[in-house]
Amino acid sequence: RIVYVNGQYLPESEATISIFDRGFLMADGVYEVTSVLDGKLLDFAGHSVRLARSLKELDIATPCSDEELLAIHRELVTRNEVVDGMIYLQVTRGNPGDRDFAFPGADVKPTLVMFTQSKPGMADSPQAKTGIKVISIEDIRWGRRDIKTVQLLYPSMGKMMAKKAGADDAWMVEDGHVTEGTSNNAYIVKNGRIITRQLSHDILHGITRAAVLRFAAEAQMEVEERPFTIDEAKAADEAFFTSASAFVMPVVEIDEAAIGTGKPGPVATRLREIYLEESRKTAI
Ligand code: PMP
């Protein structure tokens, strides 16, 4: 695989980052994951806007222009012959040459790393046909989940708790209400109405969420943005989640209770179809 590190395209075995990089020492960095279908990027504009926002919130310098960023994405897709898959991008505050809690000065340039992950046929994932199982866990993450930082230890632990319980993912709960999944935004459907938590510092502002809510509105589906409880989710007709890499994924079980018929519901199924169709149209 050819990867990108600070201006260079290199075989992955030759790519290196300093042990003093703040991304490594302090999780002082942000990331984006953009999907590729048929060799084209899905919602690149959405991801670059969110990246700029994450960087600004943390006062990390912008590593390059959006045009350059797009060019690197495309170059990696070409060099690695990615048809379907993902591009991972990470920007850290860089390498100050030592360990210090205080941020370094402007002379320390941010680190930019990008690599591809091929996933042939990812749009036809078998899980989308059967639906997936989630467990609920307490949300003990920090209070700025709207910033897409690389502090992913608790979401990783959540994923492991889910696996141990025989499930696929975990939905996190704070003050009795679902915030989001370990790496996705959470939704339920009741009487034809789509319910998902409103944007705030409590959740990541999903790029897929924004697209799906737009498509739902265009298809005259009713959407309500508010928090919901796990009990409400268990009593819902359907549940699903969204993310750039899984698109729209039906959830058929929460804490071992079947949701609705226990099979992917019509709303989630339809939204997945619309999302894939529409985002392929605007892919670049
Ligand atoms: N919430 C969290 C915590 C996530 O990690 C992700 C995916 N990175 C999402 C939501 C979904 O965001 P997107 O649709 O932009 O992938």
Q: Report CA(224)–ligand 1 centroid distance (Å).
A: 19
Q: Of the residues 40, 119, 129, 148, which is catalytic?
A: 148
Q: What residue ranges of the chain are covered by domains with CATH 3.30.470.10?
A: 2-120
pLDDT number for residue 163: 98
Taking only the tens place, the pLDDT of each residue in 12-40 is: 999 999 999 999 999 999 999 999 999 99
CA-closest residue to ligand 1 atom 1 = 184
pLDDT number for residue 136: 98
pLDDT number for residue 221: 97
Taking only the tens place, the pLDDT of each residue in 114-167 is: 999 999 999 999 999 999 999 999 999 999 999 999 999 999 999 999 999 999
pLDDT number for residue 110: 98
Please tell me the CATH code under which domain 126-282 is placed.
3.20.10.10
For residues 41-49, average pLDDT = 98
Of 88, 183, 242, the one to substitute when testing ligand 1's pocket (max ligand atoms within 8 A of C-beta) is: 183
Q: Report CA(202)–ligand 1 centroid distance (Å).
A: 12
Partners of 191 in the β-ladder: none
The runs of H, that is alpha helices, within the chain are: 22-26, 44-58, 66-79, 126-130, 153-164, 207-218, 230-234, 266-282
Q: Is the CB of 213 under 6 A from ligand 1?
A: no
Taking only the tens place, the pLDDT of each residue in 179-189 is: 999 999 999 99
The interface pTM score, or ipTM, of the predicted complex is: 0.99
pLDDT number for residue 255: 98
Of 204, 241, 249, the one to substitute when testing ligand 1's pocket (max ligand atoms within 8 A of C-beta) is: 204
For residues 230-257, average pLDDT = 98
Tell me the two tokens of residue 199. Answer: 């944007």
pLDDT number for residue 219: 96
Q: What residue ranges of the chain are covered by domains with CATH 3.20.10.10?
A: 126-282
Q: Report CA(208)–ligand 1 centroid distance (Å).
A: 8
Cβ atoms 258, 252 nearer than 8 A: yes
pTM: 0.97
Q: Is the CB of 206 under 6 A from ligand 1?
A: yes
Classify the C-alpha dihedral 4-153-35-41 as positive or negative.
Answer: negative
CA-closest residue to ligand 1 atom 7 = 183
Cβ atoms 171, 190 nearer than 8 A: no
Architecture field, domain 2-120: 2-Layer Sandwich (3.30)
